[in-house]
Amino acid sequence: MTPAARISAAIEVLDDLIQRRRPASDALKDWGLSRRFAGSKDRAAIASLVYDALRRRASSAFAMAAETPRALVLGMLAGLRGLSAEEIALLCSGENHAPMPLDAEEWGRLAAFSLDGAPDWIGADVPEWLWPAFAAGFGRDAVGEGQALAGRAPIDIRANRLKSSRDALMADLSHASPEPGAWSPDALRFQPGHDGRGPSLQAEPSFFAGGFEIQDEGSQLVTLLAGAQPGQTVIDLCAGAGGKTLALAALMGNQGRLFATDLDSRRLAPLHERLARSGATNVEIRIPRSRGHEPLIDLAGQVDLALVDAPCTGSGTWRRNPDAKWRVRPGALAERVKDQAEVLARAARLLKPGGRIAYITCSMLPDENDEAIRAFLARHAGFAAVPLTQVLASTEGDFGLLARFATEFGLQLSPHRTGTDGFYLACTQRIA
């Protein structure tokens, strides 16, 4: 396919996902299945165009004075990829599956591409209804935070201490130009190419051997700062596919007991294979038998650390899932806050005196972060917030600089601040 034909295909995919309000991955998959002529490079290029258009959906629509799929793609080519109006016009010839030629208004808006006079939520490419909550967390830095979330994400990996090290992986993966992570002692980073794609790391022999896992550096960091120690009894209460479970096992050096569970047992399915590859031997997966079943009831009062990777809106991962921010609907935030209160209450029942809850979200919204902790402490008199200075005091490295990103109860990471996904961490301790 020609570059122009790929642009036409991206417009078509965008039209499908917007009209049917479906995930971009589903729309892209269906498009590829119905057009077998498109090769893997074509599909990857089209996916990159679609995701880039979604990253800048609000700003492109404003600059182009239209929110059609065509306007979003053309605006993205100018606003994100930096193409001139002349370069875009050459791609829009209307011939050989290329988009139709630019009209006079499109030409003018592309030539003058500007966000002058745009509301802050448009400049930040954040949904309008979420903007008040987003802005409350970042104040005058909110637009810059939103713009960073609208960028492309790098690929981070976590060296699995049970089988390898960061230095060993630096040498093994040198052909892919790794960079050491800025915060996590186990992180390596790979920058995306011009097309937004990174290296195929999951095809590397060291991946199959269990030497590393794909994991954002922010996720690595908040898991490390949760404070799991060898010999403890630790639970990952919302384990999902097990990224943080595997990191905890490595931090504990396979010493102690580590339990992984999730209310949605289907999400745990990939963890079995990942555990076998990782070399982790101290992990027990507990699968709930029903919605109301507590598979960890036998551990009540015995747990040193409950890691709560709480269900949330996922606003901190918008770089990786740009369509998610436009699909989330008013009412979803209230539902997630309710879910967070329930899972925190579950964790509280399992802790022993002196035990700690490490509350984590991949959210940038105070409603899901500090406000969730405030509400938890109001309902549970036997708990107190752990000061951030204690959370950051780790033998794993000097994390004092992160104190700049303190919130009332915890720590807020973000692409703009730390170059990571937007993770929040707050720790509370059972004192009675």
In order, the DSSP letters of 24-55 are HHHHHHHHHHH-TTS-HHHHHHHHHHHHHHHH
Nearby residues of 309 by Cβ (< 8 Å), 6 or more positions away: 236, 237, 238, 239, 240, 244, 360, 361
Nearest-CA neighbor of 234 among 221, 222, 244, 219? 244
Nearest-CA neighbor of 334 among 368, 297, 292, 384? 368
> Is residue 92 annotated as part of the catalytic site, yes or no?
no
CA–CA distances in Å: residue 302 to residues 21, 142, 286, 309, 418:
45, 42, 16, 20, 35
Half-sphere exposure of 381 (CA within 13 A, CB side): 0
427 forms bridges with which residues in the sheet?
358
Q: Which of 238, 312, 362, 427 is catalytic?
A: 362
Give the start-end residues of each E strand in 123-239: 155-159, 179-180, 187-190, 212-214, 233-236
SS (H, E, C) 137-187: HHHHHHHHHHHHHCCCCCEEEEECCCCCCHHHHHHHCHHHCCEECCCCCCE
Q: Give per-residue burial for 347-361: e unless 16+ CB within 10 Å, then b.
A: bbebbeeebbbbbbb
Q: Say whether 195 counts as a known binding-site residue.
A: no
Residue 392 in tokens: 């950051």
Q: How far apart are the first and last CA of the chain?
A: 66
Which class for 167: exposed (0-12), middle (13-18), buried (19 or more C-beta within 10 A)? Answer: exposed
Nearby residues of 130 by Cβ (< 8 Å), 6 or more positions away: 313, 315, 325, 328, 333, 365
Residue type, 349: R
Q: Say whether 125 counts as a known binding-site residue.
A: no
406 forms bridges with which residues in the sheet?
411
Give catalytic residues, as residue numbers. Answer: 362
Binding residues, as ranges, are 262, 309
Known binding residues for S-adenosyl-L-methionine: 262, 309
